[in-house]
Amino acid sequence: MGLFSHFLFLPLPHPQCRLQLPPYVATLMRRCPDRPSRGDPCRSSILQPRRASRRPPLSFATRVGDLLFISGIPGFDANGALSDGFEAQFANVVINIKRVLEEAGATIRDLAKVNVLLTRASDVAAMNALYAGAFGPPPYPARTTCVVQALPDPKMLIEIEAVASLAK
């Protein structure tokens, strides 16, 4: 039996049964009171980037209920420049993620899931060491690390996206 196989065979509750949903499911199903007819989940943007011709159309983060979805953040510094070294880009990513989290009233400890995109497999060991310091102490957020062919700018060595819980 696989790790999740017990979920596949649970009987559905009787229609008259009042099912208690797990908090994360209840959060996703919560609806905005000002839009009940549309049934859209509550959604708001955090830290909208300044509109410029070279910036993509996105929000740095979007809040849906008690979840904060942080867009992929590359290693740009405060001046919008990319450093040449992996360690410097990683540090900038962490600074920028902390800034987005702070704007939403959260911290690194509120992260539930992190996706790391690297352009060089040779950076995995360095990333693990830096990640432990930046996202620790344990327990760490769940994480996926992928080595990709390229990121939008050829100088980008890393990009991190994340999901945080804002439930208190």
Give the pLDDT means over successive 10-residue stretches in the chain (168 positions). Answer: 36 41 41 45 55 64 91 91 95 95 94 98 98 96 97 96 93
pLDDT of residue 55: 64
pTM: 0.72
Q: What is the CATH number of the domain that holds 134?
A: 3.30.1330.40
Q: Is residue 1 part of a domain?
A: no
pLDDT tens for residues 23-56? 443 444 344 444 444 444 555 655 554 444 456 7
3-class state of residue 147 by DSSP: strand
pLDDT of residue 79: 87
Q: Is residue 158 part of a domain?
A: yes
Q: Of 88, 139, 91, 137, which is closest to residue 113 (Cα–Cα)?
A: 139
Q: Is residue 67 part of a domain?
A: yes
Q: Is residue 139 part of a domain?
A: yes
What CA–CA distance (Å, rounded) separates 24 from 65?
9
Q: Is residue 151 part of a domain?
A: yes
What CA–CA distance (Å, rounded) separates 131 from 145?
11
Name the residue range of residue 123's domain.
22-29+39-165
- Residue corresponding to tokens 């929000």: 59
